[in-house]
Chain A
């Protein structure tokens, strides 16, 4: 084990983990208030990436640098976040609310989400083409500094920085604001929260929007890191969902930890066993952890612990 290589793999692991953490929050939030897996969240992520792709293909930035780059990245976050939030909002209205009104069984929600996920994936493929496309360069992705010989790039800094900002913001939002209190109340006991004057429908809708906002931004970051395709949501989506479960689904801080753990595990297993085994070890870790802690690292529910 070479110490330099250790850092070489740790840093991408952390930046990937930060992304997973941000996506996992979307899963965990929805699970918290609705107790169901939002299978279509991976498509929210994909839509965010496509929104950024569309905007920057239209703008065609030429060799941006300095302030221009900062502005473009901010624009990217705004656009993809909005697109993600909009998609999640529409998703809730179309694929979840009608079922909720009819008191459908839980598995029906799962299937409806799967259907919506299929639909969004393939309509994106149809609309925007099925070949991967890169987002145009928004900044010079140069080395910023080195930690023990491992290079840290601008993009990695942005990824980790944005993730940290989003996570802190979300934590404050959920724990300190009135809206957050509503979310926690619905997560704990929706019926009672409704009796106490919480508008359950609004809370659920807003929860989806918050999750979608984070998911869309994560999609933008992921698109910068690699390329944008219609199926891009699938693997990060599953892994982030695994991360949410690993941390204890419904638990926001758990999702952050779970995401980080899975990102780092993936990166290290790519180093130790080869790139093709990265997902195998991520899922193996998940199964092992769940065998010994059946409710994840930090344990259950939004309302009770976070």
Chain B
């Protein structure tokens, strides 16, 4: 018996200890440490280029300048190598890494956060906090300068509204919409149309407030018109169709001069007025807080409605569709109806934002509706943590604020470079977003452990890598 075993083992025996070691041996240039070093040096060079001079007339100027600027290049490469050394040799440099001060601070902070989080969820803590936050937010415009006020309303608040709407479509129903700004444009142009500012005149002229329901209706119809024939498309096909829809709307706004006044845009969309008979109110641009408050009220109503929706029958139907459309349909969920609903709700929110934007800026032109903005809103939503309204709002506010604050530190034209880099870094280290929704966090964790694919949009790509 034993001789048989040795016989069958014979071929294995040829793998001696030394040959196995040779097989396992990695040349130094393939070792992880060396690869990290190369990566770090390259990043250092990249950073030198990023922070270098703007290009001149000569194509080579900027490249030459930053690559021959030895002190600057040397500093960045040295920093990069230092970081590499810290990563690779931290146990030598700091002794036991678990004892390093940085590690301790992070550990303490996470422990602290973990202690605080459940307390925040308690009703007697949660509501006062929310009220305090609302009060602070309401008072915010009175503290900041005029410039920041403009930014808060035109860039941040309007985009937060948009993101809340897109969150319904992408975060809850799981429909990848790359043309969300198209509805924003429809809203803005309806505001211009119904207030009689477009070259074509409307049957009756309305004030922007009354335009809101009309714009909502228009966007609903547009959403249904686009959605009805296309919603049977799967994820990425839907993405390109919505993108195409956006381009069509954008190009219509640019080229149909006789209706939209073309690239020049239309001016003089009036401010909204509110006349309740006993009390009337007029929005102006001189009082900077007014629009902020108006958007806060609108956003508050929308958030309230959407939160109610999230855990209702409709919201659960959306979740079911997002996670597995076939299974949802098999269980009696009318997928087409609920998908259309999500699409239409998102579209009308976008329309409201469009009306508000148009009446605040008093100017509508195709330049505000470029495709890039659609992509940006999607990025905001995912950056914040799709599916969670608070996360989405926070993410949007942060990413919309960032380019404005960057203006003070870097060249204005470079801002999107940094924005792009931040998006990549964020997705590498925190793909679930700033504040992921609880359900989504669980789905992602399950998917990570290989228990199901979570949903159509979370399935791991390209198989698992070891």
With contacts A54-B59, A103-B447, A294-B234 taken as known, whether A126 is within 8 angstroms of B424 at the C-beta atoms is: no
* Contact A118:B419 (CB < 8 A) given known A103-B464, A277-B251, A291-B229: yes
Cα–Cα distance between A283 and B239 once the two chains are bound (Å): 13
Q: Which of A106-114, A139-147, A157-165, A170-178 contacts B (4 or more CB under 8 A)?
A: A106-114
Q: How many residues of A contact B (CB 8 A)?
A: 73
Interface pair B63/A127, CB less than 8 Å apart: yes
B230 interfacial by beta-carbon distance below 8 Å: yes
Pair A242/B420 contact, Cβ less than 8 Å: no
Interface membership of A151, Cβ < 8 A: no
The segment from A2-10, A76-84, A185-193, A213-221 that touches chain B is A185-193
B101 at the interface (CB under 8 A from A): no
Tell me, rounded to whole Å, the shortest Cβ–Cβ distance linking A57 to chain B: 6
- A35 at interface by CB-CB < 8 Å: yes
B232 contacts across to A, CB distance below 8 A = 294
Q: Is the CB of A128 within 8 A of B55?
A: yes
Q: Which residues of A contact B417 (CB under 8 A)?
A: 118-119, 122-123, 126
Asked if B49 CB lies within 8 Å of chain A CBs, one says: yes
The chain B residue with its CB closest to the CB of A191 is: B463
- Stretch from A14-22, A64-72, A92-100 forming part of the interface with B: A92-100
A191 to B59, CA, bound (A): 46
CA distance A100 to B427 in the complex (A): 11
Q: Are the C-beta atoms of A238 and B371 separated by less than 8 Å?
A: yes
**Docked CA distance A287–B230 (Å):** 8
Of all chain A residues, the one with the shortest Cβ separation from B455 is A105
Of the residues B56, B236, B419, B424, contact of A245 by C-beta under 8 Å: B236
Task: Check A99–B236 contact: CB distance below 8 A.
Answer: no
Cα distance A118–B463 when bound, in Å?
Answer: 27
Whether a CB of chain B sits under 8 angstroms from the CB of A295 is: yes
Question: Quick check: B462 and A116 within 8 Å, CB to CB?
Answer: no
Q: Any chain A CB within 8 A of the CB of B98?
A: no
Q: Which of B108-116, B143-151, B215-223, B241-249 contacts A (4 or more CB under 8 A)?
A: B241-249
B285 to chain A, nearest CB (A): 31
Q: Is A112 touching B461 in the complex (CB atoms < 8 A)?
A: no
- Shortest C-beta distance, A188 to chain B (Å), equals 11
Whether B427 contacts A122 by the Cβ 8 Å rule is no
Set of chain B residues within 8 Å of A168, measured between Cβ atoms: none
Cβ B465 vs Cβ A126 within 8 A: no
Q: Chain B's nearest CB lies how many Å from the CB of A298?
A: 14
Which A residues lie within 8 Å of B236 (CB)?
31, 36-37, 245, 249
Is B281 part of the binding interface, using a Cβ–Cβ cutoff of 8 Å? no
Q: Which residues of B contact A304 (CB under 8 A)?
A: none
Once A105-B444, A116-B424, A276-B251 are accepted as A-B contacts, the answer to whether A287 and B244 lie under 8 Å apart by CB is yes
Report if A53-B59 is in contact (Cβ < 8 Å); known contacts: A34-B462, A123-B49, A290-B237: yes
B424 touches A107 (CB 8 A): no
Cα distance A294–B240 when bound, in Å?
12
Instruction: Give chain A interface residues in 127-151, CB to chain B under 8 Å.
Output: 127-130, 133
Q: Is B54 close to A, CB under 8 A? A: yes
**B413–A280 CB distance below 8 A:** no
Q: Given that A35-B461, A290-B233, A291-B229 are known contacts, is A103 also in contact with B448, CB under 8 Å in the complex?
A: yes
In contact, B55 and A286 (Cβ under 8 angstroms): no
Q: Is B431 an interface residue (CB 8 A)?
A: yes
Q: How far is the CA of A143 from the CA of B59 in the complex (A)?
A: 31
Closest B residue, CB atoms, query A198:
B463
CB of B432 within 8 Å of the partner chain:
yes
The residue in chain A whose Cβ has the minimal distance to the Cβ of B55 is: A129
Whether A106 contacts B462 by the Cβ 8 Å rule is: no
Return chain A residues, CB-CB under 8 Å to B55: 125-130
Residues of B within 8 A of A201 (CB): 465
Contacts of A114 in B (CB 8 A): 375, 378-379, 420, 423
Report yes or no: A107 in contact with B176, Cβ–Cβ below 8 A.
yes
Q: How far is the CA of A114 from the CA of B373 in the complex (A)?
A: 12
* A37 proximity list for chain B (CB < 8 A): 236, 239
CA distance A26 to B201 in the complex (A): 47
CA distance A55 to B432 in the complex (A): 42
* A283–B427 touching, CB < 8 Å: no
Any A CB within 8 A of the CB of B386: yes
Interface positions of A from 203 to 256, Cβ below 8 Å from B:
204, 234, 238, 241-242, 245, 249
Question: Closest residue to A120 on the B side, CB-wise?
Answer: B420
Contacts of B422 in A (CB 8 A): 115
Asked if A287 and B241 make an inter-chain contact with CB atoms under 8 angstroms apart, the answer reads yes
Say whether A88 faces chain B, with CB atoms less than 8 Å apart: no
Residue A194 at the chain B interface, CB threshold 8 Å: yes
Most buried by A among B54, B244, B424, B462: B462
- Cβ of B416 and Cβ of A121 under 8 Å apart? yes
Q: How far is the CA of A36 from the CA of B427 in the complex (A)?
A: 15
CA–CA, A246 to B416, complex, Å?
Answer: 30
A1 contacts chain B at the CB level, 8 A cutoff? no
B69 proximal to A (CB < 8 A): no
Q: A127-B63, A128-B62, A286-B240 are in contact. Are A36 and B461 (CB under 8 A)?
A: yes
Measured in the bound complex, the distance between the Cα atoms of B444 and A166 in whole Å is 40
A to B CB contacts below 8 Å, 7 in the list: A31-B236, A129-B62, A133-B59, A189-B463, A190-B463, A277-B251, A283-B248
The 10 A-B residue pairs whose C-beta atoms are closest, nearest first, are A115-B423, A190-B463, A118-B420, A119-B420, A283-B244, A108-B431, A104-B431, A122-B417, A129-B55, A112-B427
A115-B419, A294-B234 known, 14 other contacts, Cβ within 8 Å: A37-B236, A39-B375, A112-B427, A116-B420, A122-B413, A126-B52, A127-B62, A186-B463, A189-B463, A277-B251, A279-B247, A283-B245, A287-B245, A291-B229
Binding site for A on B (CB under 8 A): 49-50, 52, 54-57, 59-60, 62-63, 170, 176, 229-230, 232-234, 236-237, 239-241, 243-245, 247-248, 251-252, 254-255, 371, 375, 378-379, 382-383, 386, 411, 413-417, 419-424, 426-428, 431-432, 444, 447-448, 454, 457-465
